[in-house]
């Protein structure tokens, strides 16, 4: 009786056939998006989203909101689409979708989630931005994503202080505030190391006036004291040094070990970047 030899070529052909069949099945199901009723189309989109097939979920949600421009499925599909874009790291598309939802449904029962998701989109974007770029000359860096994320979360907290998302938003705002302060300190240190004493003093004063509760105020005082010292402003330098001593007696400025050559960004993103899509009401 002849035996069937399982050669590498045969194995490859079988694999290709399986992949082709899977592809055909997938295409058929996507094409079905043109004929499925709203509930079935939404279920298919949600299933794809839950399975982590974000690109596929996006296609189904886009067909859902295009084919059914009114009703609860359209509303839920809009916010889920924004979340799918967010998970796929398509930041501009996610922002466009969530902003459209906020504009169309300002009184929606879960509008607070939309504001929170908008903050998350920019928060996720700024984390990668900082990680990649905060090791070089910050006088050329643009912190727009950090500031925008802070504003997004602040809008949520102000408009919906009792929202279930407000506590996390507040914690992220603290993290972002400290990040903005750190960015200013790094710029001030850049000027300080290059002898631009007036510029370094101005940056340090900005931190002290704008981010009073940030932990970087100690470094700001040290930069201010050193800048005034180099400018020959003895009294101002002594005043800054005295305040630094009162509040940060162990600051390395007093040990002659400051400023360090480089300042690194710590805890770039201590938060989970994930958030489940809001359930339909």
Q: Output the pLDDT for position 13.
A: 58
For residue 34, the model assigns a pLDDT of 76
Q: Is 1 helix (H, G, I), strand (E, B) or coil?
A: coil
Q: Which of 195, 200, 79 is nearest to 139 (CA)?
A: 200
Residue 70, both tokens: 């009114």
Domain ranges of the chain: 33-109
User: What is the model's pLDDT at position 127?
Assistant: 52
pLDDT at 264: 37
- The pLDDT assigned to 268 comes to 42
Q: Based on C-alpha coordinates, what's the Rg of the chain?
A: 27
Tokens standing for 78?
């809009």
| pLDDT recorded at residue 35 | 79
Count CB neighbours of 75 within 10 A.
Answer: 19
Contacts 24+ apart (CB under 8 A), 272-280: 273/120, 273/123, 273/124, 273/127, 275/83, 275/116, 275/117, 275/120, 277/49, 277/79, 277/80, 277/83, 277/84, 278/79, 278/83, 278/110, 278/113, 280/72, 280/76
CB atoms within 10 A of CB 152: 25
pLDDT (0 to 100) of residue 6: 52
> Whole-prediction pTM value?
0.73
pLDDT in the model for residue 144: 81
Low-confidence ranges of the chain (pLDDT < 70): 1-33, 126-142, 257, 259-281
Indicate the class that CATH gives domain 33-109: mainly alpha
């Amino acid at each position: 009786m002849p035996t069937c030899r399982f050669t590498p070529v045969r194995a490859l052909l079988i694999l290709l056939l399986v992949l082709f069949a899977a592809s055909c099945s997938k295409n058929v199901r996507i094409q079905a998006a043109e004929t499925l009723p709203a509930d079935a189309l939404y279920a298919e989109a949600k299933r794809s989203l839950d399975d982590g097939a974000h690109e596929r979920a996006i296609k189904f949600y886009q067909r859902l909101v295009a084919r059914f421009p009114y009703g609860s499925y359209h509303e839920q599909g809009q916010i889920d689409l924004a979340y799918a874009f967010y998970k796929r790291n398509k930041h501009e598309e996610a922002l466009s979708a969530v902003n459209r939802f906020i504009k169309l449904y300002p009184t929606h029962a879960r509008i607070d989630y939309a504001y929170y998701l908008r903050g998350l989109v920019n928060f996720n974007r700024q984390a990668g931005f900082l990680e990649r770029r905060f090791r070089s000359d910050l006088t050329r860096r643009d912190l727009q994503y950090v500031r925008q994320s802070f504003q997004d979360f602040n809008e949520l907290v102000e408009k919906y202080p009792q929202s279930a998302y407000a506590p996390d938003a507040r914690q992220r705002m603290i993290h972002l505030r400290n990040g903005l302060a750190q960015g200013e300190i790094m710029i001030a240190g850049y000027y300080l190391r290059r002898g631009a004493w007036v510029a370094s003093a101005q940056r340090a004063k900005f931190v002290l006036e704008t981010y009073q509760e940030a932990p970087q105020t100690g470094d700001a005082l040290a930069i201010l004291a050193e800048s005034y010292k180099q400018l020959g402003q003895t009294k101002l330098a002594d005043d800054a040094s005295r305040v630094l001593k009162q509040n940060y007696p162990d600051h390395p400025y007093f040990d002659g070990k400051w400023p360090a050559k480089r300042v690194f960004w710590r805890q770039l993103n201590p938060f989970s970047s994930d958030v489940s899509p809001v359930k339909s009401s």
